[in-house]
Amino acid sequence: MINLLRNLLLRDFWLKLFSLALAVLIWLTVSFAIRKEVSPVTVLAATHTEERTYYNIPVKVMSSASDVRTFKVNPTEVRITVRGEPRLLEGLQPDDIRAVVDLTGIESARALSKRIEVTTPAGITFVQVFPDQVEVIVQPKH
């Protein structure tokens, strides 16, 4: 029994030690990468930013040019929260923020839920949209 344990520990000792060191190095790298989600540059920039919420932003529908169907979305307006430097937010108008539902490639459906895609000007970061999905009602082709 003692020989079995001695062989288990001492046989290929350097290879086992190298494997242990490599495993610890990989663990430290992953652990460090997870903790480093927020870089110092992001923290510095975040100290000079504000959040602002815009209400009643209309939801626009994007479909292919060859699609002659009409689409209705429910709700037709959403609430969007953005973040940016105060001077950029002062000049930001609700028309500068776009809430779009992409319906290109929809072949046949009567009703479906689609996620809203938000685009903002440079320097403005999209934070949240509520609701984040809309119900799309597809009218038949005429």
Contact 114/75 with Cβ under 8 angstroms?
no
| pLDDT tens track for 1-26 | 788 878 877 888 899 999 999 999 99
| pLDDT tens track for 25-62 | 999 998 888 877 655 555 444 557 889 999 999 999 88
Beta bridge partners of 19: none
Tokens (6 digits) for 85: 């430097």
Concatenated DSSP letters for 128-141?
A: EEESSEEEEEEPPP
Contact 76/59 with Cβ under 8 angstroms?
yes
| pLDDT tens track for 87-112 | 888 989 999 999 999 877 776 667 78
> Looking at residue 68, what is its pLDDT?
64
> Looking at residue 22, what is its pLDDT?
95
> Looking at residue 18, what is its pLDDT?
93
Contact 107/126 with Cβ under 8 angstroms?
no
Q: In angstroms, rounded to a whole number, what is the distance separating the alpha carbons of residues 71 and 111? A: 10
